[in-house]
Amino acid sequence: MASETLMIKIILLGDGRVGKTSLANRFAKNIFRSDYQPTIGINFLIKQAVYQDQAVKILIFDTAGQEFLSSLRKQHYAAANGVVIVYDITNKQTFDDLDKWVNEIQEEVGDVKTVFVGNKVDLEDKRVVSAEEGKFYAQSVKSEYLESSAKDDIQVTDIFQSFIDDAIKANSDDKIVKM
């Protein structure tokens, strides 16, 4: 096993109530809470693990989606290795707002790996945004696309795994902090 721990900083963005906190909790703690509690400011979670004989510490910054908290949210973007932009497949407005999040990231962070996530696939019968729409949008901004359910633990690990894989491949990159 490599002796250094790779630290990977991932920012979760998206409108309120899309499931950012649920995805972070499912990945970092393997829990799901059905009661909604909005994030005020930033939630910070850490997951430590070993992948491909490499110790990894994933720092997850779960941000509040409310516009009035944007200045607080932006303070935490520095040195991000990746961004996950989440929308709710049952709420078209959250999909329509993706441009807002893309613009914010481009202005504040610049070129950073981004994964778009259509969340809440456990509510397929209430879907209003098709998987094809999500894929097309992600392709239009040269990003990856996944669909997930924090509730049913569908593809949650996959969201974060692509960042981990990239970090391990490029562990000499200056953006990755070795501890």
Residue 105 lies in a domain: yes
Dihedral angle of Cα 119, 68, 44, 121, to the nearest 10 degrees? -10
What is the SS3 assignment for 62? Answer: strand
Residue 176: per-residue pLDDT: 47
Residue 66 lies in a domain: yes
Walk along the chain (179 residues) and give the pLDDT tens digit of each residue. Answer: 656 899 999 999 999 999 999 999 999 999 998 887 777 667 899 999 998 889 999 999 988 765 645 555 567 788 899 999 999 999 999 999 999 999 999 998 889 999 999 999 999 999 999 999 999 999 999 999 999 999 999 999 999 999 999 988 877 544 444 44
Residue 1 lies in a domain: no
Residue 40: per-residue pLDDT: 67
Number of domains in the chain: 1
Give which of 75, 70, 85, 66 is closest to 10, Cα–Cα. Answer: 85
Give the domain range for residue 145: 6-178
Check which CATH number belongs to the domain holding 11 and give it.
Answer: 3.40.50.300
Answer yes or no: are the C-beta atoms of 129 and 98 closer than 8 Å.
Answer: no
